[in-house]
């Protein structure tokens, strides 16, 4: 199962990706958490301190494994040299980092795209494995190639019309790209009024709502504390609707 978390900058994608990663891990999945945003701190939120080799270096290796014409490549957690070299692994969690992509021109995301494409389309995962991809803000990377293999696109938004508009744009691109399921999570909701407006606006596309956590405004919160705060909310959303189970069942 491949899950991508997207949305406008700063809406909470990384915190939500980290919470989902832990939720899935606690529910018995082998999780591959991939940080595709060079500015994000998914590692810190998952309590990972080790340096992780960036996956952009792996582009050639993937091409070699799947062949120039494409093909399938199954990551094997027991023996895989790729995981040994590029992942930090602990108890059912494999943390991978995309790394900084040198942009040849402002519109070229070639190495990142080709790797994302390989990982999303060529890698085969079993029912007990889940990929959680924390996507960078912006929509340039949302092409057919990179999104076609995604089973679930979670679009995070805040209660603002700009954030809702961006979410709808991402939804359109993801639909065009052939993503199987697309769901919205509204984060940082401060009042019943905001909640009702979002419910009205998004209808059945809205999977769940997470309240604004005033605690996070206080200093002294670590990245892990931050994730823990949202983890219960994520558990509540996915206990109400077992989307992961539905996807695994096909």
Ligand X SMILES: Nc1ncnc2c1ncn2[C@@H]1O[C@H](COP(=O)(O)OP(=O)(O)OP(=O)(O)O)[C@@H](O)[C@H]1O
Kindly report the length of the chain: 250
| 97 near ligand X (CB under 6 A) | no
Q: Residues 175-194 vs ligand X: string with x where CB under 6 A?
A: ------------xx------
> CA-to-CA distance for 73 and 62, rounded, in angstroms?
8
Tokens of residue 70, six digits: 């494409």
Tally the C-alpha atoms within 13 A of residue 96's C-alpha that lie toward its C-beta.
26
| 235 near ligand X (CB under 6 A) | no
187: left (phi over 0), alpha (psi -120 to 50) or beta: beta
To the nearest whole angstrom, how small is the minimum distance from the Cβ of residue 154 to ligand X? 12
CA–CA distance from 176 to each of 134, 144, 186 (Å)?
20, 7, 22
β-pairing, 88-90 with 181-189? unpaired
To the nearest whole angstrom, how small is the minimum distance from the Cβ of residue 241 to ligand X? 19
Q: Point out which span in 5-13, 60-68, 69-77, 79-87 binds ligand X (CB under 6 A).
A: 5-13
| 13 near ligand X (CB under 6 A) | yes
Closest to 88 measured CA to CA, from 54, 119, 63, 116? 54
Residue with smaller CB distance to ligand X, 37 or 194: 37
Alpha carbon 153 to chain centroid, angstroms: 8
Terminal CA-to-CA distance of the chain, rounded, Å? 10
Of residues 16-45, those binding ligand X (CB under 6 A): 37, 39-40
| 140 near ligand X (CB under 6 A) | no
To the nearest whole angstrom, how small is the minimum distance from the Cβ of residue 138 to ligand X? 9
Residue in 14, 19, 146, 147 binding ligand X, rule: CB under 6 A? 14
Residue with smaller CB distance to ligand X, 3 or 75: 3
Tokens of residue 180, six digits: 């199987």
Q: Residues 199-218 vs ligand X: string with x where CB under 6 A?
A: -----------x-xx--x--
Tokens of residue 189, six digits: 């909701």
Tokens of residue 103, six digits: 């942009």
Residue in 1, 4, 12, 101 binding ligand X, rule: CB under 6 A? 12
Q: Point out which span in 4-12, 78-86, 200-208, 236-244 binds ligand X (CB under 6 A).
A: 4-12
> CA-to-CA distance for 243 and 183, rounded, in angstroms?
10
Residue with smaller CB distance to ligand X, 64 or 140: 140
Give the interface with ligand X as residue ranges (CB under 6 A).
7, 9-15, 37, 39-40, 137, 187-188, 210, 212-213, 216, 226
């Amino acid at each position: 199962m491949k899950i991508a978390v997207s949305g406008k900058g700063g809406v909470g994608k990384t915190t939500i990706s980290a919470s989902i990663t832990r939720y899935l891990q606690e529910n018995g999945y082998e999780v591959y958490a991939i940080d595709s945003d060079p500015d994000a701190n998914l590692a810190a939120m998952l309590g990972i301190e080790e340096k992780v080799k960036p996956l952009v270096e792996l582009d050639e290796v993937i091409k070699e494994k799947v062949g120039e014409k494409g093909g399938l490549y199954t990551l094997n957690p027991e023996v895989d040299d790729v995981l040994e070299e590029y992942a930090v692994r602990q108890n059912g969690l494999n943390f991978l980092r995309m790394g900084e992509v040198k942009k040849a021109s402002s519109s070229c995301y070639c190495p990142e795209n080709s790797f994302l494409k390989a990982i999303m389309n060529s890698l085969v995962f079993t029912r007990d494995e889940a990929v959680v991809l924390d996507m960078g803000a912006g929509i340039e990377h949302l092409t057919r190639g990179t999104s076609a293999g995604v089973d679930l696109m979670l679009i995070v938004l805040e209660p603002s019309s700009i954030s809702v508009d961006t979410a709808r744009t991402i939804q359109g691109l993801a639909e065009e790209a052939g993503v199987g399921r697309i769901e919205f999570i509204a984060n940082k909701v401060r009042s019943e009024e905001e909640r009702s407006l979002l419910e009205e606006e998004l209808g059945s596309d809205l999977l769940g709502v997470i309240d604004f956590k005033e605690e996070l405004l206080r200093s002294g919160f670590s990245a892990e504390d931050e994730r823990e705060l949202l983890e219960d909310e994520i558990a509540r959303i996915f206990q109400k609707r077992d989307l992961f189970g539905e996807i695994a069942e096909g």
